[in-house]
Amino acid sequence: MRFISANQIFSGKEYLPTNTVLVVSDSGLIEDITTKENVEFSNIEHFEGIICPGFINTHCHLELSHLKNLIKQQTGIIDFGLAVIKHRNEFSAELQQEAMRLADKEMQTQGIVAVGDISNTNESIKIKKESNLYYHTFVELIALNPERANLVFDTGKQLLSEYTKVQLSASLAPHAPYSASLELIKKITDDCFQLNKPTSIHNQESKTENEFFNSKTGDYLRLYETIKISIDYFKATGTSSLQTIISSLNQKVNTLLVHNTFSSKEDIEIAKNVHQQLYWCLCPNANLYIENALPDINLLNSSGCTLTIGTDSLASNSNLSIIDEINTILKHQPNNSLELLLNAATCNGAKFLGIENQFGLLEKNKECGINLIEGKTGNYSVKKLA
Ligand SMILES: [Zn+2]
């Protein structure tokens, strides 16, 4: 049994009184939350720093781990996407498995306890089965052509069953507005509703995504030309990508919008009006890596968006660390509070994934992981205590 106290304890929602002591079993279960008066002084382990629950990484692509340090930075989303397509199958299966195993270990060292992970194949199943981390897999589907919606959906359901038959939590997810038709988005999110599972979609990661929807212009035309896919059927909608797709998402499904780098105030207001179960995921390191831009986190927060944090993949990040994402935000947009970002990285992520019974909050009878955050603003590091 351990009796843990620290300079500050953040529950996942708020700071607890400074005399709080966590009573933690050897296996990491919080057996009680009490105060210093109730514990013999010599038994208390005091830590310099902030204690919080284990982190929830709501957006990762374990499958792309072998692309670390391979793709040039700040080339924009189109050239980044083309480089991923070019390089992702250049490596042996063994090397890819090894890269995923290291990425999984790195997340554990970085105090992450649960991951929302995008998968296009079954390659990550073995790692996920053997890992100590909780994984929810989003089986990601791509088909902008509405005529392909049924076929792609059926193939996706087959891949999904490979995860669920080995008791891994999983559901389908459309890749992005520019790569999934409204028909496919509707089919996928209706399926998530049936299964009572969350979904996820990349959203407004680049300015050119909005140009594509507004006027069918911009760099996405070059993408489809380069990969030789005709998009003759696609019509500009005269509005942003998010406003185009929002009504096609099943509104009773927890839905993660990932990136939101170019979401306007109007986009946010309209989306929130239509859909009340949206979660807005920040992946600042990937945004700087690919587009050298960041979402306006103040705007998202002041508009009442529920924020979460993701690392994205090692193709667009030098590590898989939630505290590093928080450091990046605090460096670039220092008017955001650590409290806001810790809440996003713990409680909100757990709620989104539907795992708040176990994770995201320091509470009696939870085995949610316990992290110690050390250091100064913008330069924090994390140590896993349980
Ligand atoms: Zn992603």
Ligand 1 centroid to Cα of residue 102, in Å, is 19
Distance 249 CA to ligand 1 centre (A): 18
Residue-level pLDDT at 167: 98
If you measure from the C-alpha of residue 38 to the centroid of ligand 1, how many angstroms do you get, rounded to a whole number? 47
* Structure tokens belonging to residue 161: 């069953």
Show the CA angle centred on residue 107, arms to residues 11 and 206, nearest 5°: 90
Q: How far apart are CA 225 and CA 106, in angstroms?
A: 38
Give the start-to-end residue ranges of the domains of the chain.
Answer: 1-53+360-386, 55-359
pTM above 0.85, yes or no: yes
Q: Scan for tokens 């996706």, then name that residue.
A: 156
Predicted confidence at residue 219, as pLDDT, reads 96
Q: What is the pLDDT of residue 258?
A: 98
The reply to whether domains 1-53+360-386 and 55-359 share a CATH topology is no
Q: In the prediction, which pLDDT does 251 show?
A: 98
Query: 310 C-alpha vs ligand 1 centroid, how far in Å?
Result: 9
Torsion of CA 226, 230, 233, 235, to 10 degrees: 10
Helix, strand, coil % over all residues of the chain, rounded to 5 = 40, 25, 35
Q: Phi and psi of 322, rounded to 5°?
A: -65, -35
pLDDT digits (tens, 9 = 90+) for 111-150: 999 999 999 999 999 999 999 999 999 999 999 999 999 9
Q: What is the CATH number of domain 1-53+360-386?
A: 2.30.40.10
Q: Tell me, what amino acid is at 343?
A: N
Say how many Å lie between the CA of residue 139 and the centre of ligand 1. 12
Spacing, Cα 87 to ligand 1 middle (Å): 16
Residue 23 Cα, ligand 1 centroid: separation in angstroms? Answer: 38
CA distance linking residue 180 with residue 245, whole number of Å: 10
CA of 316 to the centre of ligand 1 (A): 9
346 C-alpha to center of ligand 1: Å? 19
pLDDT at position 173 is 99
Distance 264 CA to ligand 1 centre (A): 20
Q: Could you give the 3-state DSSP secondary structure of residue 307?
A: strand
User: How far is the centre of ligand 1, averaged over its atoms, from the C-alpha of 258 (Å)?
Assistant: 7
d(CA 101, CA 181): 34
Q: What is the pLDDT of residue 294?
A: 98
Rounded to the nearest angstrom, the distance between the alpha carbon of 61 and the centre of ligand 1 is 6
Written as six digits, the tokens of 196 are 């009572």
Total length of the chain: 386
Give residue-wise pLDDT tens across range 325-365: 999 999 999 999 999 999 999 999 999 999 999 999 999 99
Ligand 1 centroid, distance to 236 Cα (angstroms): 24
Class of CATH domain 55-359: alpha beta
**Distance, CA 59 to ligand 1 centroid (Å)?**
6
| Distant-in-sequence, close-in-space partners of 86: CB < 8 Å, separation ≥ 6 | none
Output the pLDDT for position 186: 98
Instruction: Find the 192 Cα to ligand 1 centroid distance in Å.
Output: 19
Q: Report the separation in Å between the CA atom of 239 and the middle of ligand 1, taken as the mean of its atom positions.
A: 23
Give residue 312 CA to ligand 1 midpoint distance, Å: 5
Can you give the pLDDT of all 386 residues of the chain as single tens digits?
Answer: 999 999 999 999 999 999 999 999 999 999 999 999 999 999 999 999 999 999 999 999 999 999 999 999 999 999 999 999 999 999 999 999 999 999 999 999 999 999 999 999 999 999 999 999 999 999 999 999 999 999 999 999 999 999 999 999 999 999 999 999 999 999 999 999 999 999 999 999 999 999 999 999 999 999 999 999 999 999 999 999 999 999 999 999 999 999 999 999 999 999 999 999 999 999 999 999 999 999 999 999 999 999 999 999 999 999 999 999 999 999 999 999 999 999 999 999 999 999 999 999 999 999 999 999 999 999 999 999 99
Residue type, 158: Q
Alpha carbons 313 and 283: distance in angstroms, whole number: 10
Q: 266 CA to middle of ligand 1, Å?
A: 24
Query: Radius of gyration (Cα) for the chain, nearest Å?
Result: 21
Whole-number Å distance between alpha carbons of 138 and 163? 10
Q: Look at residue 140 in the predicted model and tell me its pLDDT.
A: 98
